[in-house]
């Protein structure tokens, strides 16, 4: 498998959307191709995220999406790697690693202090990959959230 990884542009939104819809379904969301298309297009159009795609020829095999954030305490940029998805038939073939490597290179090039991500406690294969690539698990604080869409 010969994979190329590149930063996505607005013209990629239509091709990324089905993968994003599958990603959402992995996290137990109902299929919604229109919502996926709109969300990805809006993020790219408004430059609210950075997306990298992995392709074999013209076919997208996976993507990762990063959102900008900042550390007020350190007064630096950080990137939140919010989404990572590889199509089933391309898993365990280096696609996720290539996407994570591209995200890390982008983070360094943008002057960010770090990348952050969160995964489910039972996603052992992803955790193993993250650790293998040098990501450190940390949880020195209690995390809270306030749902605003209830």
SS3 114: strand
For range 70-92, the mean pLDDT = 94
Tell me the per-residue pLDDT of 27-40, one tens digit each, with 9 for 90 and over: 999 999 999 999 99
pLDDT tier for residue 96 given thresholds of 50, 70 and 90? very high
- Position 18 scores a pLDDT of 98
The matching CATH number, chosen from 3.90.1300.10, 1.20.140.10, 3.40.630.30, 3.40.50.300, for 4-132 is: 3.40.630.30
Contacts of 54 by beta carbon, 8 Å cutoff, 6+ apart? 3, 4, 5, 60, 61, 62, 63, 86, 90, 95, 98, 99
CA 36 to chain centre: 14
**Cα distance between residue 115 and residue 77, in whole Å:** 9
Any idea where the domains of the chain sit in the sequence? 4-132
Q: What mean pLDDT is reported for the chain?
A: 92
The predicted model gives 75-104 an average pLDDT of: 94
Query: Is residue 144 pLDDT above 80, yes or no?
Result: no
pLDDT, greater one: 124 or 25: 25
Tokens for 49?
């995220």
């Amino acid at each position: 498998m010969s994979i190329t990884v590149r930063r996505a542009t607005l013209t990629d939104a239509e091709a990324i959307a089905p993968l994003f819809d599958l990603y959402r379904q992995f996290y137990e969301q109902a299929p919604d191709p229109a919502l996926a298309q709109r969300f990805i297009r809006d993020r790219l159009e408004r430059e609210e995220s950075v997306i990298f795609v992995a392709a074999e020829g013209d076919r997208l095999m996976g993507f990762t999406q990063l959102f900008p954030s900042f550390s007020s305490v350190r007064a630096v940029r950080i990137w939140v790697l919010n989404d990572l998805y590889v199509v089933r038939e391309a898993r365990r073939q280096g696609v996720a690693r290539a996407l994570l490597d591209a995200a890390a290179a982008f983070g360094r090039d943008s002057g960010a202090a770090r990348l952050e991500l969160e995964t489910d406690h039972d996603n052992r294969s992803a955790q193993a990959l993250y650790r293998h690539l040098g990501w450190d698990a940390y949880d020195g604080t209690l995390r809270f959230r306030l749902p605003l869409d209830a």
